[in-house]
Structure 1
Amino acid sequence: MAEIYDFVIIGTGSVGSAAGYYASQKGLKVLELDVAVPPHTQGSHHGQTRLIRHAYGEGEKYLPMLLRAQKLWDELQQKTHRDIFHQTALLNVGRQGTDFIENVEKSAQKYQLPYEKLTGDEISQRWENFNFSDDYVGILEKKAGYLNSEIAIQTYLDLAQEAGVDQRFDSAVQSIDFQDDIVVIETAQQVYRAKNVLVSAGTWVKELLPEMPVQPLRKVFSWFDVADNRLNEDEGFPAYAIEIDDEQTYYGFPGKDGTIKIGQHTGGQPITHRSQRTPYGDYASDKEEVLPLLLQYLKGVGSLNHGASCTYDQSPDGDFIIDQLPGHPNVQFVTGLSGHGFKFASVLGELAAQKAAQEEITTDLSAFKLNRFE
């Protein structure tokens, strides 16, 4: 009889790598599976960096998880001395009165987060590369910034391996089945048995759980040459999230090593197959989608240096889906992260490990249940 793992993780990118590490710290026998060797470029976690915002425009329901996530990122950096979190400050910008900027300020006030509110003119005075009229407002989060996503994942994987976690990468899962209370996972190479399973397969979760209401979106981001050194991190330029006209949302990072990374959170191309996630530049819009930001609101950005494509696992309402498989409480899933999930990877991994260890979950996850779409 094959050995039975306490916890098998299918998809060991952002959430999965964190879950494997935290489960190993609880003494569970853990197996990590992935279609490639993470960190890799086939999912949503590549591209070097991800923002971490605390005053959250997506709603207050995220704040308890988000503040715990930051604490876990800080602990990971302190434990390993790796380059994981950069506290650069983060500037949220939107037109006065829009839901995004109102939610940002309300969440900052409710959770007593340190922030500074700026008019459009004050933004432009402090950072001359920004150009906003006074119908825009900024919320500056001084303790926010960005995460080095690939370093963070590699750190979790290294720590898990040191703790004795089995890692079987380049192992695409073909099916999940059930024998009494045991979950049977079949790959092309082998069959595994588990007491508990986490499906954190990102964009392609529907290949295993076709009932998930997730739409894969092809997305891109770009690096431009820095033409004005005032855009650089070491000059005090912040990370930023900017909503224009309540329609288009852009994000970006301070310049570093001669380039500055910028992307558009909105938009993208709905796809259904892995082959449709084509390289950067395959669509004419890839090189044009950040032009509205650069032409009117952000100056000092030079020529396009290079770009990359990724995917979002987009839920119908843009909120996460965190739940267990109906009829099978020992199979949990985290999906629908909708392009704003990486900052939560640490806490989502911790929560998954707690559930696998049958610990009490005190975090309120009711807003993220699957049945809200019924």
Structure 2
Amino acid sequence: MQEADIIVVGVGAMGSSALYHLSKSGANIIGLERFKPGHDRGSSHGECRMIRKAYFEHPNYIPLLNRAYELWDDLNSQVPQPLFHRTGLIIYGPPESPLIEGIDQAASEHDLPIEKINAAGGQDRFPHLRVPAGMTGRYEADGGYLEVENTIRAYAELAEENGVTLINNCELLDWKTIKDKVQLETSQGTFQAKKMIVAGGAWNAGILKLPKIPFKVHRVMQFWFASNSDYTAQNGFPSFAFYLPEGFYYGFPGLNNVIKVAQHAPGAFMEDPDQLNPMPLPEEVAAIKKAVKTLLPDLPSTPVRHSACMYTMTPDQHFLIDHHPETDNIIIAGGFSGHGFKFSPVIGEILSELSLTGQTRHSIDFLRWRWS
């Protein structure tokens, strides 16, 4: 049996960050990963994710974002190539929409530098993005995109360099508490630790064995389209998002002659995360082709590549970060899909603090267990 002070189950976005922060503590830390860091079987893959500060979802996220930005810059300083790219972010929506009103409220309450751009001004500034009638824009110069798989691998590698033991291809089969410890049965043997952090993404519900745990897993598609140098960050093309009547669509500057565009919406509910269908449905292709024709009319609207991932969400779409309701030996981290990746550096810091001391410096009461 292998023993540790803290075991992290799941070395994805949050788990890899937690391992990195824990690696600075001097404690004996083990990370168990079902596949290997940066895999394409879960929620954190597809090359890039968006980052922004003017957070319409809830104002309490913004202090966490401020810290996340500091930690992204710290990570950038430790890797050969940057993982956080400040390309600027333009978001369009109807003036009365929750999106625009939420951005304005967040910017006002937290003194964030947001530029208001009308449709005509946005069309002149970013001519390759077609602005639908009746839309207004909000531009955030400090927004941009993050490299997903490379971030996870970087955090995992930095953690290992600091002495963390990482075990790949290790499936958690069962666990139980024994006095003041957690014992784990895995495909690679038995482990025991004082604390266990569960950051298993789509597999969290099965791992935690809580009948009322509120995680639901949804299948979501990502698409890529052929592009050219006009759509690169080097030529001023930004990260972008549009609040359309038919859905919320977003995309990024082109890389390697393709541009990524996707819809932010939970797809079909999945009973079993091991049964992810990688192929897009005809209606999913039709919806993304229509959006590209509307928003990026100079691009071919037939995708050249696609990828399926899983959204793991709570009923209110806010994260869950808390101790297991039945034991303080286990810390739960989940429900991040759709808007969590940008927070991964600070979530890792929070999980590290909770597992080492039982508390965190960060205000996360709105993210704790809130279901009867």
TM-score, normalised to structure 1's length?
A: 0.95
Tell me if 1:249 matches 2:248.
Answer: yes
Tell me if the contact between 2:266 and 2:311 (Cα under 8 Å) persists in the aligned partners. no
Write the mapping of 1:307-322 to structure 2, written as runs, cut at 5 A: 307-322=306-321
Write the mapping of 1:206-225 to structure 2, written as runs, cut at 5 A: 206-211=205-210, 212-225=213-226
* Secondary structure, aligned partner of 1:352: helix
* Secondary structure, aligned partner of 2:173: strand
**CA displacement, residues 131-161 of structure 1 (integer Å, 9 cap, x when unaligned):** 2245211110001100111111111111111
**CA displacement, residues 157-190 of structure 1 (integer Å, 9 cap, x when unaligned):** 1111111111111010011200111011110221
Partner of 2:290: 292
Distance 1:260 1:276 in 2: 28
Partner of 2:185: 186
Question: Could you tell me how far 1:292 is from its partner in structure 2?
Answer: 3.4
Tell me if the contact between 1:313 and 1:337 (Cα under 8 Å) persists in the aligned partners. yes
Number of residue pairs aligned between Structure 1 and Structure 2? 369
Write the mapping of 1:144-293 to structure 2, written as runs, cut at 5 A: 144-211=143-210, 212-226=213-227, 229-245=229-245, 248-281=247-280, 283-293=281-291
Write the mapping of 1:1-374 to structure 2, written as runs, cut at 5 A: 2=1, 4-133=3-132, 135-211=134-210, 212-226=213-227, 229-245=229-245, 248-281=247-280, 283-302=281-300, 303-358=302-357, 360-371=359-370, 373-374=371-372
Distance 1:355 1:182 in 2: 16
Tell me if the contact between 2:217 and 2:273 (Cα under 8 Å) persists in the aligned partners. no
* Secondary structure, aligned partner of 2:318: coil
The aligned amino acid for 2:289 is L
Tell me if the contact between 1:119 and 1:134 (Cα under 8 Å) persists in the aligned partners. no
Question: Could you tell me how far 1:240 is from its partner in structure 2?
Answer: 1.2
Q: Name stretches of at least 5 consecutive residues in structure 2 with no aligned partner.
A: none
Distance 2:67 2:279 in 1: 34
Question: Could you tell me how far 1:298 is from its partner in structure 2?
Answer: 2.5
Question: Could you tell me how far 1:275 is from its partner in structure 2?
Answer: 4.4
Distance 1:154 1:148 in 2: 10
Percent identity at matched positions? 30
Tell me if the contact between 2:322 and 2:369 (Cα under 8 Å) persists in the aligned partners. yes
Tell me if the contact between 2:39 and 2:45 (Cα under 8 Å) persists in the aligned partners. yes
Distance 1:267 1:201 in 2: 18
Tell me if the contact between 1:118 and 1:138 (Cα under 8 Å) persists in the aligned partners. yes
**CA displacement, residues 81-139 of structure 1 (integer Å, 9 cap, x when unaligned):** 33301110011211111111111121122222222111122111211122224521111
* Secondary structure, aligned partner of 2:224: strand
Distance 2:26 2:32 in 1: 19
